[in-house]
Amino acid sequence: MRLLSLFALSLAFALSGCTAIQRTAHMYSNEAPQPLSFQYKDSGSSTYYSFVVGNASQPDTVVFFYGATGCPSWKSVMPGYVSGLTVNARVFVLNKRFVPDRSTGLFDCGHEFHLVNNPNQWVADYSEFIATQISSIAPKPKNVVLVGVSEGALPAAKVAGLSPAITHLAIIGSGGYSMRKSLATLRQKGAIQFDVNSGWEKITADPRSIEKNWYGNSYRWWTDIMDIDPIADLLKLNIPVLIGIGEQDQSVPVESVNFLETKFKEAGKDNLIVRVYPSADHRLNANGASYRNEFFAELGRLLQPTHNISVKRDAPQAARPLP
């Protein structure tokens, strides 16, 4: 049971290699971005952040982030999270609805949050936010990049297929497996010891409940997320898709990207770039160092005008010490 608790925490804390204390301290520092408010057409709202990487006042690359599992605020890790990005870019980071500016995600996320914390709402909100921001930018950006981290890979892949404005998709800590298949694979590898079936029996008895929780997420969340198959959404894309995953990821097995590579090859597609980071975990951390900067540096190279897509697995550079 302790291992499942660690699994749930790894999903909730997928934003950064920092400790909860470090993230909380950062949210009150001068380096943290100032909160802005985005109003949806249905009168709801979300907190978001916007900042520039590099020196250009009007960069031709725009990068969009959307929330990860649970209710942590992106304020806790931005802008340092993308410090490895090597191009001038405007970055937009959208919290989920009902995630406050300084939420750590360590406590109950609240009834209102759980009501809207589902894949359909994620896709609708992310789509509306992106469309609104792009429409307000002049001149139009040359590159529009979506970044999906862990759970965030699901709406990012869906939205990338819905919007012709998206030019690149970057994913951290996700692959081509459903949650159910990921858990089964992790159990087979001995990475987790619990049997998810016992918990699933409880969930299926009350699948739409947002009051009942299993390891940090409502029954409804598990019901909605457990059997989503990302393959179809990813195979529809003809834009570059960059995926980074830790070799020792214990939330999403590395086999899931092997499977995805096979599916792309079977479909005759050559727009997938996979980077597997040795000994790294779900957050791309390994032995006190992080590969996240290398991942974003790779994304920067992919955005260069002269870059040619090639489906390969070059060995990543050495991980950099964590701050």
Q: Between 21 and 232, whose confidence is greater?
A: 232
CB 176 within 8 A of CB 257: yes
- State mean pLDDT over 148-170: 97
Domain ranges in the chain are 2-321
3-state DSSP: the chain helix, strand, coil percent, rounded to 5? 35, 20, 45
Model confidence band, residue 16 (pLDDT cutoffs 50, 70, 90): low
Q: What is the mean pLDDT of the chain?
A: 89
pLDDT value at residue 309: 53
- State mean pLDDT over 280-302: 94
Q: Hey, what are 203's tokens?
A: 């969930």
**Rounded Cα distance, 210 and 221, in Å:** 8
- State mean pLDDT over 287-316: 79
**Rounded Cα distance, 40 and 19, in Å:** 33
pLDDT at residue 4 greater than cutoff 60: no
Q: Give the length of the chain.
A: 323
CATH placement of domain 2-321:
3.40.50.1820
Q: Hey, what are 302's tokens?
A: 């992919």
- State mean pLDDT over 214-224: 90
pLDDT at residue 9 greater than cutoff 50: no
What one-character-per-residue DSSP string does 206-222 give?
STT-SSSEETTEEHHHH
Q: Hey, what are 13's tokens?
A: 């804390």
Q: Which residue has the tokens 């909160």?
A: 35
What is the model's pTM? Answer: 0.91
